[in-house]
Amino acid sequence: MRSMLWCGCAFFFQSVELAEPSCLTSVELMKPTSFLFISGIIVSSLFAAEKNPELRVLEDFRAVASIGELPVVSYADILDKATPSVVAVYSSRIVQPSYYQRAPQGLQDLFRQFGRPLPQPEADSPKERMEQVGVGSGVIISEDGYIVTNSHVIQVPRGQAADEIRVRLSDDVEYVATLVGSDQKTDVAVLKIEPEEALPVVTIADSAKLRVGDIVFAIGNPLDVGLTATQGIVSALGRDSSGILEPGSYENFIQTDAAVNLGNSGGALIDAAGRLIGINTAIVSRSGGSIGIGFAIPSSMVLNVVTNLIETGEVPRGLLGLIPVNLTPDLADAFELSTTRGALVNQVIVDSPAEQGGIRHGDIIMKIDDVDIKSAPQLRLIVSQMRPGRKVNVTLIRQGETLTLPVVLGSLTGSVASAEAEQNILEGVQLLSIDGRLRKGWSLPDDVDGVGVGDVLPESPYSELMARGMVIVEVNGEAVSTLEELEAQLQVGANRLYIWSSGTNHFIAIYIQE
């Protein structure tokens, strides 16, 4: 009986596809008893096909909202309000044609056949062209043309900024956008266009008031098919250990099962009132398509980053100057704690605000001001969103005793100060000149010379590549022995470092942004 009903449904939908699209809507609105009745009629008609019966279907062309006897189940008005504020974002780069490509085709074939070098191109031949390399989404946040998107949307391969960024509005009008600023640690970027009239803007909600189970919609430009809306719920909050962003970044994602696909990045996650509660950023998928695990940056974090990028061009972040780790059940037992909540101080950076405030390794931080600390990633996130110079009260447990210590936050903008001078060479990395004391303390062989790596903050983009005790021997093929030589050899873009560590040498590659 069930297979017959499915056959009837399939036939019914196939027949409906030949009629007005709204017929499909009427199917969704029919009551179960009506649907079974219709299905029975159609199934019966299969057995009388030889008589060519007249096709009879039930049609209803009313809008959902006008059907008084049924509850309103459409979110069309909400999407009509929010969708115009979502845009498509296209990133392009300037491509230099190769020597081979610029040669006339006939000469290419001839010289390739005989293995000869190609001739020089003619003077009037094209030398470069603009090539689209990425597509994503964005959200209009101000009438005068500020647009928020993801940092990775406006980058080209190897992490460099695009040479041209175009924005297409919901009415298909296109603009060339200017990059106002980008923050890779949160994957947020701000664009600016110069519209001739006021733009439709999104209303921004307080993402801190979200609850698991709230209905949400993802709006964006998936696979460049055009603006698309999908529905889901808030599946989880505060996802901070997903490893989606680069090392040293700040993750605090909203998880949703609303379908998010390639091209949705930078688009809007809105609530049932049409308000922005997040910027869609990433998915977990083995196929490249949505499997119901998507992540969005909360609107409160986005607004903080955007405001700073527009007003100052950077995102100032507070710094405690310590390396925290999560408490495992075994560590909690060892510290005689009844919970794994909190952040264990694994190391305190020399001369940091934490050391100056009296924090020691082995302390368990439970609160920053009135904010309860549940984990090490949350501690990093909370402090990073505070202004440098702010005085905070750090509540911690030390050997079973609860203490509250006042600490004045330092600044994460720039790197840790070296023992000799303030330097801003590798962000979050303490660099040390090698003298006799350091050589003895680290047991360095006499033939090892270079620049020593001291403390490396978890926030550093190089935290997974570099560690205390390493020695940078060469930078881009040139030997270095002082901070000045190291800084002189580093370049914007990719760099190769020859490293000595624990008796062996190896290469690492690091990338430096402009």
DSSP letters for 276-311: EEEEEEEE--SSSS--S-EEEEEHHHHHHHHHHHHH
Say which CATH topology domain 84-192 has: Thrombin, subunit H (2.40.10)
What is the model's pLDDT at position 111?
Answer: 54
Domain boundaries along the sequence of the chain: 2-74, 84-192, 210-312, 320-411, 429-512
Candidates 33, 56, 41, 29; CA nearest to 4 is 41
Which residue numbers are catalytic? 152, 187, 265
Q: Quick one: 31 exposed, middle or buried, by C-beta within 10 A (0-12, 13-18, 19+)?
A: exposed
Buried (b) or exposed (e) across 402-438, using 16+ Cβ within 10 A?
Answer: eeebebebbebeebbbbeeeebebbbbbbbbbbeeee
Candidates 385, 366, 378; CA nearest to 319 is 385
Report the alpha-carbon distance of residue 140 to residue 84 in Å, rounded. Answer: 9
Helix (H) and strand (E) counts in the chain: 12, 27
Residue 151 has phi, psi (to 5 degrees) of -60, -40
Say which CATH topology domain 429-512 has: Pdz3 Domain (2.30.42)
Which residues touch 18 (CB under 8 Å, ≥6 apart)? Answer: none
What is the model's pLDDT at position 336?
Answer: 86
Report the alpha-carbon distance of residue 291 to residue 403 in Å, rounded. Answer: 46
Work out the number of other CB atoms within 10 angstroms of the CB of residue 450: 24
Report the alpha-carbon distance of residue 237 to residue 296 in Å, rounded. Answer: 10
Residue 14, classed as helix, strand or coil, is helix
Residue 325, classed as helix, strand or coil, is strand
Residue 343, classed as helix, strand or coil, is strand
Candidates 118, 90, 117; CA nearest to 102 is 118
Which residues touch 246 (CB under 8 Å, ≥6 apart)? Answer: 184, 461
CATH code: domain 320-411 is 2.30.42.10
What is the model's pLDDT at position 24?
Answer: 32
Q: Quick one: 52 exposed, middle or buried, by C-beta within 10 A (0-12, 13-18, 19+)?
A: exposed
Q: Which residue has the tokens 């490293």?
A: 499
Residue segments in the chain with a per-residue pLDDT below the cut of 70: 1-72, 96-128, 157-159, 241-242, 413-424, 459, 514
Q: Quick one: 66 exposed, middle or buried, by C-beta within 10 A (0-12, 13-18, 19+)?
A: exposed
To the question of pTM greater than 0.85 for the whole model, the response is: no
Question: Looking at the domain covering 210-312, what would its CATH class be?
Answer: mainly beta
CA distances from 46 to 16, 27, 38, 40, 324 (A): 16, 20, 13, 10, 70
Which residues touch 51 (CB under 8 Å, ≥6 apart)? Answer: none
What is the model's pLDDT at position 364?
Answer: 94
Buried (b) or exposed (e) across 231-248, using 16+ Cβ within 10 A?
Answer: ebebbebbbbeeeebeeb
What is the model's pLDDT at position 418?
Answer: 31
Report the alpha-carbon distance of residue 221 to residue 229 in Å, rounded. Answer: 9
- Per CATH, 320-411 and 429-512 having the same topology is answered yes
CA angle, 340 then 342 then 348, to 5°: 125
